[in-house]
Amino acid sequence: MISQAHISSNTPMGANLVDGGGATFVAWAPSATHVYINGSFGGTVKSGQTDDLLLAKDAYVKGYWTGFMADAREGDPYRFYVVGPGGSDYKRDPYARELSTAATFPNCECLIRSATAYPWHDSAFVTPDFSNMIIYQLHVGTYNLDVQTSPHVASTFLDVIGKIPYLVALGVNVLQPLPIDEVETDPSMGYNGADLFSPDFPYIITNSAALNGYLTTINALLAAKGFGPMRLQDITSGPSQLKALVDLCHVYGIAVAFDVVYNHAGGFTVNNALDDWCIYYWDRGKNLGNNNDSLYFTDQDRGTGGLSFALWNNDVRQFLINNALYYIGEFHVDGFRYDEISDLIDMNRDSGWSFCCHLTDTLRYVKPRL
């Protein structure tokens, strides 16, 4: 069985780098009989269902699988292989900070990303008072397109950074992008998400030559406010590019509120189907087709709008609360626009309102000015 070094009841979910090297892995899969970690760690491919890759079940918290990979490092690709009563196959990490573009979505790997590597410049920023907010909503993918040179190609987080002086000139002090997490189909407005912790592929720049051009723009904006330059490696990953957008907005006096979708996941596909490698039936439970047994969801779906989260389940509630805490903590987000709360409550008559209260109380405890 895989090492349990650096593992405790407080170890965060997903893949997390450890000071001194390596990474911890934590996954929730109560019905699974085996969960393996596969990937390429420190340049060595580790695959298959062998004892040295088997995570430990219930070592610290019931229903959770844990392990430590000593040679894992920043940018390494990984996936979980889950064996359960309903079958076995790979699953993406529901807490993955980024998905790999090396293989076609949705059967792709996740990437280990640092939670703390980005060099922030926003320590002096104060969120404007609610009564003074001038909110600008936008869709990242269509906001700053160059239709002459790049038709049918989405604009990106870094493209939006180039429009910050324009937003300042308009008097905007809150930027509210439509949902930015990975979705089941592209193009999308963002309301059919499947990987809530991963930024959407089309909004990320992966070409190094192109990144150098964006870096020039970023450093010019920073220099105008008295800050030193950033390095290319500071904006290489998808999460770091989204952080750069929030950071530069703050440097220029603009708060950022994320649009989050906690009433459902998926949607806009045949029968609202979620792909087989996502959080749907993540523990490979039995009774495939009965969404009440799908771990994260219930049968109270929205017709054409996806599957409702099982908010009566404390682990599911915590997953969504952790998502909001992730955006506040790692991305310095100032607030949220919650999608269709009335639907959330309608589909969760016994638990929807209490979830909303729990979510709000937790976030305001962590960030009182939220």
Q: How does pLDDT run across 13-23, given as a tens digit for each residue?
A: 999 999 999 99
Local confidence band at 289 (pLDDT 50, 70, 90 cut-offs): confident
High-pLDDT (> 90) share of the chain, %: 82
- Predicted local confidence at residue 257, as pLDDT: 99
High-pLDDT (> 70) share of the chain, %: 95
- Predicted local confidence at residue 274, as pLDDT: 80
Local confidence band at 341 (pLDDT 50, 70, 90 cut-offs): very high
Let me know if 60 is exposed, middle or buried by CB neighbors in 10 A (0-12, 13-18, 19+).
middle
Distance CA 216, CA 316 (A): 42
Local confidence band at 147 (pLDDT 50, 70, 90 cut-offs): low
- Predicted local confidence at residue 304, as pLDDT: 53
Token pair of 359 as six digits: 């979510």
Q: Could you read off the pLDDT of 36-61 as tens digits, one per residue?
A: 999 999 999 999 999 999 999 999 89
Distance CA 272, CA 31 (A): 24
Helix (H) or strand (E) holding 192: none
Local confidence band at 261 (pLDDT 50, 70, 90 cut-offs): very high
Cα dihedral: 62, 68, 72, 73 (round 10):
80
Give me the domains of the chain, ranges plus CATH numbers: 14-111 (2.60.40.10), 130-260 (3.30.750.90)
- Predicted local confidence at residue 306, as pLDDT: 84
- Predicted local confidence at residue 271, as pLDDT: 57
215: helix, strand or coil: helix
Q: Could you read off the pLDDT of 57-112 as tens digits, one per residue?
A: 999 899 999 999 999 999 999 999 999 999 999 999 999 999 999 988 899 999 99
Distance CA 335, CA 327 (A): 9
User: What is the chain's mean pLDDT, rounded?
Assistant: 94
- Predicted local confidence at residue 201, as pLDDT: 92
Q: Could you read off the pLDDT of 199-218 as tens digits, one per residue?
A: 999 999 999 999 999 999 99
Cross-strand pairs, 14: 26
Higher model confidence: residue 254 or residue 150? 254
- Predicted local confidence at residue 173, as pLDDT: 99
Higher model confidence: residue 20 or residue 147? 20
User: Is the N-terminal amide bond of 106 cis, ω within 30° of 0?
Assistant: yes
Distance CA 243, CA 222 (A): 14
Rounded to 5 degrees, what are φ and ψ at 82? -110, 130
Question: Checking phi first, is residue 242 left (phi over 0); if not, alpha (psi -120 to 50) or beta?
Answer: alpha
- Predicted local confidence at residue 297, as pLDDT: 93
Q: How far apart are the first and last CA of the chain?
A: 43
Arithmetic mean of pLDDT, 271-283: 84
- Predicted local confidence at residue 49, as pLDDT: 97
- Predicted local confidence at residue 268, as pLDDT: 61
For residue 232, the tally of other CB atoms under 10 A from its CB is 11
Local confidence band at 145 (pLDDT 50, 70, 90 cut-offs): confident
- Predicted local confidence at residue 152, as pLDDT: 52
- Cβ atoms of 318 and 296 closer than 8 Å: no
Whole-model pTM: value is 0.96
Q: CA 261 → CA 27, 90, 219, 258, 330, distances in Å?
A: 22, 25, 33, 10, 19
Higher model confidence: residue 292 or residue 172? 172
- Predicted local confidence at residue 303, as pLDDT: 59
Cross-strand pairs, 111: 77, 98
Local confidence band at 151 (pLDDT 50, 70, 90 cut-offs): low
